[in-house]
Amino acid sequence: METSGMATELTIGEFSRISHLSVKTLRHYHETGLLKPSSVNPGNGYRYYSEAQIPAAQVIRRLRDLEMPVTAVKALLGAPDAGARNALIAAHLNRLEDDLARTREAVSSLRNLIDRPRTQLEIEYRSVPPARAIGIRAIVDREDVLAWWRGALGELHAMIPAQGLRRTGSTGGLYASGLYQHDRGEATVFIPVEGVARSVGRVESLVVPSAELAIATHRGSLADVDLTYGELGSYATRHELSVAGPLREYYLGDSPHTVDSGTWVTEIGWPIFRADA
Amino acid sequence: METSGMATELTIGEFSRISHLSVKTLRHYHETGLLKPSSVNPGNGYRYYSEAQIPAAQVIRRLRDLEMPVTAVKALLGAPDAGARNALIAAHLNRLEDDLARTREAVSSLRNLIDRPRTQLEIEYRSVPPARAIGIRAIVDREDVLAWWRGALGELHAMIPAQGLRRTGSTGGLYASGLYQHDRGEATVFIPVEGVARSVGRVESLVVPSAELAIATHRGSLADVDLTYGELGSYATRHELSVAGPLREYYLGDSPHTVDSGTWVTEIGWPIFRADA
DNA sequence: TTGCTCCTCACGTCACGTGAGGTGGC
DNA sequence: TTGCTCCTCACGTCACGTGAGGTGGC
């Protein structure tokens, strides 16, 4: 007995077969509001879907295959026009590209760890005096730190010619320990310059504090920087030198601007206590 | 007051800074047994790590960055020799490659869905008589179906010259509805042949049952096959033709052997009821 | 009557993260 | 005394999957 004049209704099983989404998944999408059945029998709770919902199910499946979060898929389906939808899709594809790049980094980093000859690290003690600089400071999440770092360095470097500043040392960064311990903390990137600069955008004038540091030189991609941190940190601990304070990095030459991260040279500074200082 | 003669012990915070693993993560790895602190103070529960654990932490971090499951990482760290470890790593990298390929498929499938001109599907009714065939049958999970399908077809095709069989029709497959509804179900791939063949390996002799089918032709990658399923299924439902039974596919020409999946031609058969049959 | 499809809880999975509430040493 | 580090629960997150136990129509 069909209600005549109504559009064809599909049971959840039929709709599942057509859409290649499991029954459990369809019920879950109903619950979360991502894809509501076109009608529900109030007597027994049976869900019914309409033919018109097939294209939506197809789009949802593809986006979920691409690991787009359900809330993002919902936003996309609710977007007002094709332009907005395409922008959201493009943004997600970019995120996938970034993921892929990170994966590639991790693979080569793993190979590096396995193959690398574990050479003895040379560690130098250095007293760094306070230095005037221009810098950008922020509280960042660890997962965003690389993107933030790139952007901040770009902005910072543009400021040198823009304000006619004279650089007096290597580009560097300060990283609070919370960044490693809680995946979130204060980070600062800076370029030492002569005199006081104007604040423009995120860039401000600041003084990089003095420090007693144990310094090790890291060569290659920053994806492997934890290896150098590990050797330096265990050295500092072994000799009971560690004190509180942000970790420091100096990017020698023009490391961050070279595409081939294999040639990067970074000095890692670990804050220490020196009886003789 | 240090216990003299003991190796240097690091607090969880120090070890976190050195390894770039969060304190929460380190506690979690202790709980799951992936990385146990070298000692725990029984009085206050404080965890202490040794320097010797730093390399393990570095390996763990890289493998987790590559989304290797914790249990797999554990197995890897417990592997007896470098050969076994390398094999596990290589296997995981292969899985990553497969993931990447699937992602690429999903991206092009999404573009396809957005760009494709939605042409009217031509649907044909066909009575298929029973047919002797060689086939491979299994209960498979949906996520494994593509890999299973490729392997089974390869094995099946090798059997034709090996047993000197004469092919009598197109290669095909039968897919139980559970495969779509519960992500797991029976699948069969077959090649119709003359006479009865010997069972070798997974290959057995079988009779593909007769069926009344509504047939639509799908052109292009099977990543998009749900589009054709969608149109065919909604057609069958609209005309109240659907009956229970496995879905059927016929791979025309030599589709599965061509690298360029864009040129594949697949017939999709939907089981129907025919009053006139 | 059997088998199939549908339903609703309630709980599990995976790898942690988020707080709340408390301790202990400098 | 304040601030920092450490601790243990207990619960949350994300996108479902897994059962248990039950209904309803052919």
b vs e for A59-86, b when ≥16 Cβ sit within 10 Å of the residue's Cβ? bbbbbbbbebeeebbbebeeeeeeeebe
pLDDT tens sequence across A70-98? 999 999 998 888 888 888 888 898 888 88
CB < 8 Å to A100, chain B? 100
Residue A207: pLDDT band by 50, 70, 90 thresholds? very high
Single-letter code of the amino acid located at B52? A
Residue A117: pLDDT band by 50, 70, 90 thresholds? low
Of A103, A110, A177, the CB nearest to B17: A177
Residue A224, C-beta contacts closer than 8 angstroms, at least 6 positions apart: A109, A112, A113, A218
**The tokens of B190 are what?**
């077959």
- H runs (alpha helix) in A119-266: 145-163, 178-181, 225-238
Angle in degrees, CA B220, B224, B229, rounded to 5: 110
Single-letter code of the amino acid located at B123? I
**The tokens of B65 are what?**
């960055």
**B60 CA – D7 C1', rounded, Å:** 24
pLDDT tens sequence across B58-109? 999 999 999 999 999 999 998 888 888 888 888 898 888 888 888 888 888 8
Interchain CB distance below 8 Å, B18 and A230: yes
CB atoms within 10 A of CB A165: 19
Interchain CB distance below 8 Å, B233 and A14: yes
Residue A41: pLDDT band by 50, 70, 90 thresholds? very high
Looking at chain B, the whole-number percentage of residues with pLDDT higher than 90 is: 41
Residue B172, C-beta contacts closer than 8 angstroms, at least 6 positions apart: B189, B190, B191, B192, B208, B248, B249, B250, B251
Angle in degrees, CA A181, A186, A190, rounded to 5: 130
Instruction: Assess whether pLDDT exceeds 70 at residue A277.
Output: no
pLDDT tens sequence across B214-230? 999 998 888 888 888 88
Interchain CB distance below 8 Å, A20 and B229: yes
Q: What is the pLDDT of residue B277?
A: 45
CB < 8 Å to B86, chain A? 114
Dihedral angle, C-alpha B202, A17, B270, B141, nearest 10 °: 0
Q: What is the pLDDT of residue B133?
A: 96
For chain A, the average pLDDT equals: 86
pLDDT tens sequence across A143-178? 778 878 888 998 999 999 989 999 999 999 999 877
Are A156 and A189 within 8 A, CB to CB?
yes
Under DSSP, the state recorded for A7 is P
**The tokens of B124 are what?**
């044909």
Minimum distance, in Å, between the CA of residue A165 and any CA atom of chain B: 35
Q: Which residues surround strand D, with CB < 7 Å?
A: A 22, 24-25, 28-29, 44, 64, 69-71, 177, 181, 244; B 11-14, 16, 23, 27, 44-47, 182-183
Please tell me whether residue A232 adopts helix, strand or coil conformation.
helix
Bigger pLDDT: B275 vs B210? B210
Minimum distance, in Å, between the CA of residue A255 and any CA atom of chain B: 22
- Nearest nucleotide to A67, CA against C1' atoms: D15
Cα nearest neighbour of B114 on chain A: A59
Average pLDDT over residues B227-247: 81
CB-based burial label for A19 (10 Å; 0-12, 13-18, 19+): buried
Please tell me whether residue A222 adopts helix, strand or coil conformation.
helix
Looking at chain B, the whole-number percentage of residues with pLDDT higher than 70 is: 91
Are B185 and B139 within 8 A, CB to CB?
yes
Residue A179, C-beta contacts closer than 8 angstroms, at least 6 positions apart: A140, A142, A145, A185, A186, A187
Looking at chain A, the whole-number percentage of residues with pLDDT higher than 90 is: 41
Of A16, A96, A107, the CB nearest to B181: A16
Average pLDDT over residues A202-219: 92
